[in-house]
Structure 1
């Protein structure tokens, strides 16, 4: 059994491709349902964000398992086999472990050290765990990765003045307009990304912010949190265009929420409108960008601003890497010891059974001994058994860490009559 990660991310994959393989929340149960029938994957976690779509799996065969996961992408998203090959990244074994730790800590993010990814990693594992798609290995990996990410945030400055995609979007808009205080903004969507954008806009002095959402009740709830924000009926979103300078959109819709033909009906060509689409799949029809006076920016355009804000976090990232290396070694030692754990438990059970048998026999022969003497005898014998099996247990653990666990567990099984000596072998 080995851990692998297969997927695509923002590093070498354009948005136009990323949006084609984004798992919507409504897709997840169906996706896991198909992966349940995968012959090579025993445990699965799917993670899909605006910058990545990836699957972590415990597979019985690395080559066949990786190919099966790639083929799943093509089938599930209805893509021609081979069209994603230049974009796929694959991490195996220790590199896969390190990737998950880096991911949770924000070291794999477009915005170095961003906070949002930690919650996304935790939620992705939580969903998989609740439906029974994970087991001992991925449960341990994701829990340790999340715990380590929290430690990094406590012990380093990597998340100070934390930036997210939403806050980067506002910084990007500020570079375009310079002064935002007199601009009117329409925010489409009411998720976390939208809330962060609204807070950043208000911090920049924006006084007129309107929000709209397909479910109006959610928009009203948001306006209660931010009394300065006005609520617009979703069906009236196009009617706001003549009054608006900036549009920020971040929904989970599988289709465009701003289409050119409708947008063009309401857009006054002498206006200047800046649109920032931070959704995957995209919310805004790219054809809108061809309209005079309209500037449409998508996720990949935000990379420059992200890089400019990265330097201050690089030193903290160095410390974070050291912490991750330390925790990865601990996890890998545990993982490589999986074959010997049953053997160790078997040794303990064997020692306990011998002790019980000999104590019963000795007690019968020492009927006249006092209870205090019998108690002392039991303490000494228990101590003796522990000392006898201590060295073999340590050697089994060392063998596991040296990736020789299967061999040593098999030998221990034969010597002591332990039947099930490996939980990694299937």
Structure 2
């Protein structure tokens, strides 16, 4: 029986943020890898675990979906397995390797691409190698990804296609405050969008961010670094906050009521940047006449997103064909490797006859194929065909080998 790769993909609910029960941290990933290594059924494996997704790739003769599921649940210490919509197993080798390479280089099936994950893939591969779970197939696959990465840098270069409002705001601030040392940032109104912006800013190294809201309860879910990176101010102190901070980000839908224009009429020491992300507010139209305030609204943000999308659309047209071309080289290699192993199996069913004519008898044949004597090449053809049919019945790997082609090549060679 010949093995094959299978890929198990888990959803970790990044967008609805209801549950991260199946996100594996480093220690949990290590525990799962050690568990897979202890199974004799698995020859090679690779685990990519990110907050937004988990990809478990393994090479085996057997379908181990249920068993791996249980191992993941054991690592997390939960008894309830995810529902069907939260995971998927792919046994089509070409399809799964295309998925992984597109994920790695940000060229998934969209018009604009996704964020490249090559650094995360590199860490996952190194970890699998340290765990002793890399064999000849995954080693060749990784060499192919490295050469693909090099080719993309030479011919396409990377873009970072984060088109969400929270990412665009973070990037915009970085561009606006390049020459400002330690800018003071305030977020006014704290909803789901504000939280994502706060996290992105914290991850980019911005510290001591002021959060303004009606109640501090909206901030109580923070942990670790996020918990120590903000100062809370009640909404009735917002006028002071405006005076003390350089960058003001508002998500208040009733900003016109809570942020009257006279709050911005003071003689500030420095120019203020005001970003209004509400849908209904019209405050930026008033502030555009103020010399000491640079206003941005959702329309401005969407224009930036459109520009980035067009840039990435052009990048994707360059990058995706390069990834496809490199994928094909790997598929050709694995096809040849599988074909060699298959031919080895065929030869194991055949042996030389007493006349030293090669490949003339099937080892497992218990009865004559006919009652009349055949010339050697006809007899060989029948025996070889029967051997291939036997292998075809007993192998799971049926989609990589063209059996008629094997027969033709065998007789051309001999």
Residues matched between the structures, number:
275
Q: 1:57 to 1:155 in 2, by over 3 A?
A: same
Correspondence for 1:95 = 95
Distance 1:46 1:275, change over 3 A: farther
Where structure 2 has 5 or more consecutive residues not aligned to the other structure, the ranges are 185-204, 214-221, 243-247, 252-257, 260-275, 278-301, 346-397
Q: What is the CA distance between 1:127 and its match in structure 2?
A: 1.5
Which residue in the other structure is 1:125 paired with? 125
Q: What whole-Å deviation, never above 9, does each CA across 1:121-154 have from its counterpart, x for those lacking one?
A: 1221112112211111112112212321331232
- Provide closer, same or farther for how the CA distance between residues 330 and 257 of structure 1 changes in structure 2, counting only shifts above 3 A: same
In structure 2, the residue matched to 1:208 is 182
What CA distance in whole angstroms lies between the structure 2 residues aligned with 1:33 and 1:16? 29
| 2-structure distance, mates of 1:407, 1:84 | 43
Query: 8 Å contact 2:94–2:331 — kept in the other structure?
Result: yes
User: Is the Cα–Cα contact under 8 Å of residues 4 and 61 in structure 2 kept in the other structure?
Assistant: yes
- Residue 255 of structure 1: CA displacement? 5.1
Aligned counterparts of 2:7 and 2:58: Cα–Cα separation in 1? 6
- Deviations, residues 40-81 of structure 1 (Å, cap 9, x unaligned): 43211111234322112213224xx23333333322223343
Relative to the length of structure 1, the TM-score reads: 0.50
Contact 1:7 1:54 survives alignment (8 Å) = yes
Deviation at 1:264, TM superposition (A): 9.9
- 1:22 matched to 2:19? The reply is no
- Gaps spanning 5+ residues in structure 1: where? 181-197, 211-230, 246-253, 277-291, 297-303, 347-399, 417-426
Contact 2:210 2:231 in 1 (8 A): no
**1: CA distance, partners of 2:142 / 2:19:** 24
Distance 1:406 1:20, change over 3 A: farther
Residues 315/73 of structure 1: CA separation in 2 closer, same or farther (3 Å cut): same
- Cα 1:169–1:146, aligned 2, differ >3 Å: closer, same or farther? farther
Match of 1:332, SS state, is helix
Following superposition of structure 1 onto structure 2, how do residues 268-283 of structure 1 map, counting pairs within 5 Å? 268-269=234-235, 270=238, 271=241
Partner residue, 2:168: 171
Report what 2:254 is aligned to: none
Judging changes above 3 Å, is the alpha-carbon distance between structure 1 residues 338 and 329 closer, same or farther for their aligned structure 2 residues?
same
Cα offset, 1:96, TM superposition: 0.8
Taking structure 1 as reference, are residues 330 and 45 closer, same or farther at Cα in structure 2, changes over 3 Å only? Answer: same
Q: In the alignment, what sits opposite 1:320?
A: 319
Change (3 A) 1:255 1:307: farther
Deviations 1:314-348 (A, max 9, x none): 233233332233222222222122244368899xx
For residue 80 of structure 2, give the secondary structure of its aligned residue in structure 1: coil
Alignment of 1:16-415 (within 5 A): 16=17, 19-38=20-39, 40-62=41-63, 65-92=64-91, 93-108=93-108, 112=113, 114-115=115-116, 117-156=117-156, 159=158, 162-163=159-160, 169=166, 171-173=168-170, 180=173, 202-203=177-178, 205-209=179-183, 240=208, 256-258=224-226, 266-269=232-235, 270=238, 271=241, 309-341=308-340, 403-404=401-402
Contact 2:114-2:162 at 8 Å conserved across structures: no
**Residues of 1 paired with 2:305 and 2:139: CA distance?**
32
The equivalent position to 2:8 in structure 1, one of 6, 9, 25, is 6
Asked if structure 1 preserves the Cα contact closer than 8 Å seen for 2:45 and 2:56, the reply is: yes
Task: Give 1 or 2 for the bigger CA radius of gyration.
Answer: 2
* Structure 1 position 101, deviation (Å): 1.5
Using the alignment, how far apart are the partners of 1:130 and 1:207 within structure 2?
Answer: 42
The offset of 1:38, in angstroms, is 3.8
Q: Secondary structure at the match of 1:99?
A: helix
Note closer, same or farther for the CA distance 1:318–1:243 as it changes in structure 2 (3 Å cut): closer
CA distance in 1, matches of 2:59, 2:18: 26
